[in-house]
Amino acid sequence: MSASLQVRRGGEVLRVLPLARALSIGRTPDNGLPLRDPSVAIRHAEISAEGGALLLTHLAGGEHVTFVNGHRLAPNEPRRLEPGDEIQIGPFTLAFLTAAPETRPAPAPAGRVREQGDLAARPARAPLPTFPPEVPARGTLALYTEFLPPFFQESEFLSRYLKIFEAIWEPLQRRQDSVDMIFDPRVAPPRVLAWMAAWLGVPLDPHWPEARQRAWLREAVTLYRWRGTRYGLSRALETVYGLSPVLREDSAQPHTLTVRLLDPPDGDDTASREAVTAFIHAHTPAHTRVDVEWVGADAASPSPPAPADAAPPPEPEPVTAQPTPPPAAPDGPPA
């Protein structure tokens, strides 16, 4: 029997994927096994065949991790998979099985409505704390005296003299040692974010919370590869506004996309509907008509079951989606 990979999330089996060849695992749809979650890297891991065995290699670094049977994998170190192994990647559990894979359901016939996504609204994360650079305390010996013979280390005058050069050079040395952090959107100084966005050619709204700006700069270059696709639009809304949309397409209305969003409660990081709508129109194909629907938090959450002796609630009135026009162009001189 051929090997297969069972994908679960929260105890629910999402799919069973046969392992017939090399398989890439990551967040974007161009992977053999796409896992949609921010905790999954763009190229997270891969499974390859070598000498009749299947090897799992963790490719990501930093905050993205992979566990096999509770043991964390080191990057770029292949591990042989055994039947029954469970791979943990973010909220997903991948079970390595040797049984025959389940048959996939037949595709839905043409002319049906297609929906993708789950409504959700996530608050922005707090930015990482920053601290001022350390200032050498006065009255202490110069660090440069440690490189001198013991006889010269006892000279107080020489220590004060070397401290002049130390005060000039050490701040430059610390800046040089951490210059790569200036180009990292996660820890770059806030005043550098706008310059970095202009350098990359990425629009950056100064009204976005700092955490949203950092997340957008970190993923904008990758998301521009997916601009105009369902994944690109969904991931862009999750990154900038923390909104997970439901995308609806009806073959009876070609070139029409309905975007359903959860209306989050007012907060410091809550954007206006007009700003979100303008952002959606900027990341959808020009030939596509976009209808934006806003759903209240009460309507999106499932209601508790009614008692057996209670009368059934009246059926709600149908809600008609009203198309949201694109943002008006700025006034200009008459043609």
Average pLDDT over residues 82-89: 92
Residue 321's pLDDT band, with cuts at 50, 70 and 90, is very low
For residues 200 and 291, state if they share a domain: yes
In a domain, 285, yes or no: yes
Per-residue pLDDT tens digits for 37-47: 888 998 999 99
Please check the confidence at residue 315 and state whether its pLDDT lies above 70.
no
In a domain, 309, yes or no: no
Out of 182, 211, 234, pick the residue that ends a domain: 182
Average pLDDT over residues 45-57: 89
In a domain, 77, yes or no: yes
Least Cα distance to 47 among 88, 81, 70, 86 occurs for: 81
First to last CA, the chain: 71
For residues 216 and 292, state if they share a domain: yes
Please list the residues that pair with 114 across neighbouring strands.
249
pLDDT, position 269: 61
Strand order in the sheet with 4-9: 12-18, 4-9, 92-97, 86-89, 67-68, 71-72
Per-residue pLDDT tens digits for 144-188: 778 878 877 778 888 888 888 888 888 888 878 878 888 888 888
pLDDT, position 44: 94
Q: Which domain holds residue 16?
A: 4-97
Q: What percent of the chain has pLDDT over 90?
A: 21
pLDDT, position 71: 92
Residue 19's pLDDT band, with cuts at 50, 70 and 90, is confident
The whole-model pTM stands at 0.60
Please list the residues that pair with 228 across neighbouring strands.
none
Domain count along the chain: 3
In a domain, 90, yes or no: yes
Which phi and psi (to 5°) does residue 226 adopt? -105, 15
Residue 68's pLDDT band, with cuts at 50, 70 and 90, is very high
In a domain, 75, yes or no: yes
CATH at residue 233 = 3.30.300
Least Cα distance to 82 among 61, 102, 70, 97 occurs for: 97
